[in-house]
Amino acid sequence: MNLARARTIAMFAAAIACTVGVATQASAQELTLSTTLDTFSSPGNLYGPWQTELLEYQWQADPKDVPSFTLIDRNDRDRNALNEAAPTRSTAIYADDYHTWSQSFFTYAQVMTSSGNILPNRLAYLEGDVKLGRNHTLVFGTGASLYANPDGSVTRSLSVGPTLYTGPMVYTARYLPTTVRGNYTGLNSNGTVVSGANSASGSALELVAEYNVLGKNQITATYLGGTQPGLLVGFVGALPPSFTSLQRVGEIDLTAKHWIRRDFGVIVGGTIASHALQSTGANIYHQSGITLGLFFGRAVGLPR
């Protein structure tokens, strides 16, 4: 058993131990297990498949807090992954919490740490949400994140926009500006190594429509479109290196969560996405993904 695999098993064991420890006190709690497989079509067939395993435990700690722990193990089998024979891999642990401060304000906070060379090594995100209107059906959220990437670069991003609640339907729009800064290394035309510092900025729009009847069905459709700094972690090659070019991104996700019993259900999801160079429009890859999962326990409602 290699070290990465042993670390993954140890993290899963720790997460399950946390689950058992808090379950006895939680009035509402939910354990989710899912797997996602992403396949790609790209010039040279350089990308994929990507496989991601997820274990999440979420519970109602008290009337004001809804925390969760999430363990993610992602395995990318890209042909160009760091020019290594072994697949690129990351294992990450997330901790987050929704905290209700008053009838008109709540916050969401998330921290993460990981090992490996895909996911950020460290991440922190904080968001504040203000409820507006007579019935508090309009919510305006503002969030900021900071995370350190395995190649030494740092990503900063914002998330700003409204959410509208109308019965079982929820509509959200978010503006997502992102900036990446860090050092690069590349090869000049004569084969000499060059290095320096650079940055890239992009912005995207995320639109979400959700049908949510807790304990019965939850269907979520998400559209993401715009530009993102292109991160090729550990890339050393012909200039421009690493993250200095922008990618034009288009992505559609559809996820359905269905309760078979009060304390058990299934999750089915799908993703279609494309990435292209913003400067030339050249295709980077087309992506197709499928997610299958199970969840156990009483449904946990989030602030709304």
* Residue 117, pLDDT score: 82
* Residue 234, pLDDT score: 39
DSSP secondary structure letters along 193-236: EEEEEEEEEEEEEEEEEEEEETTTEEEEEEEEEEEEE---TT--
pLDDT, tens digit (0-9, with 9 covering 90-100), for 103-126: 999 999 999 999 988 899 999 999
pTM of the model as a whole: 0.85
* Residue 123, pLDDT score: 96
Residue 90 and residue 94: Cα distance in Å, rounded? 13
Task: Answer whether CATH 2.30.30.230 is correct for domain 3-296.
Answer: no
294, two tokens: 């199970």
Residue 79 and residue 174: Cα distance in Å, rounded? 34
| Phi, psi at 23, each rounded to 5° | -65, -30
pLDDT above 70: residue 199 = yes
Average model confidence (pLDDT) for the chain? 85
* Cβ count within 10 A of residue 45: 12
Task: Tell which residue, 212, 202, 209, has the closest CA to residue 258.
Answer: 212
Burial class (CB in 10 A: 0-12, 13-18, 19+), 37: middle
Residue 57 and residue 18: Cα distance in Å, rounded? 9
pLDDT above 70: residue 214 = yes
* Residue 132, pLDDT score: 96
Domains in the chain: boundaries: 3-296
Residue 151 and residue 7: Cα distance in Å, rounded? 21
pLDDT above 80: residue 151 = no
State the DSSP H helix or E strand holding residue 11, giving kind and residue range, or none if neither: helix 3-23
pLDDT, tens digit (0-9, with 9 covering 90-100), for 252-290: 999 999 999 999 999 999 999 999 988 788 898 999 999
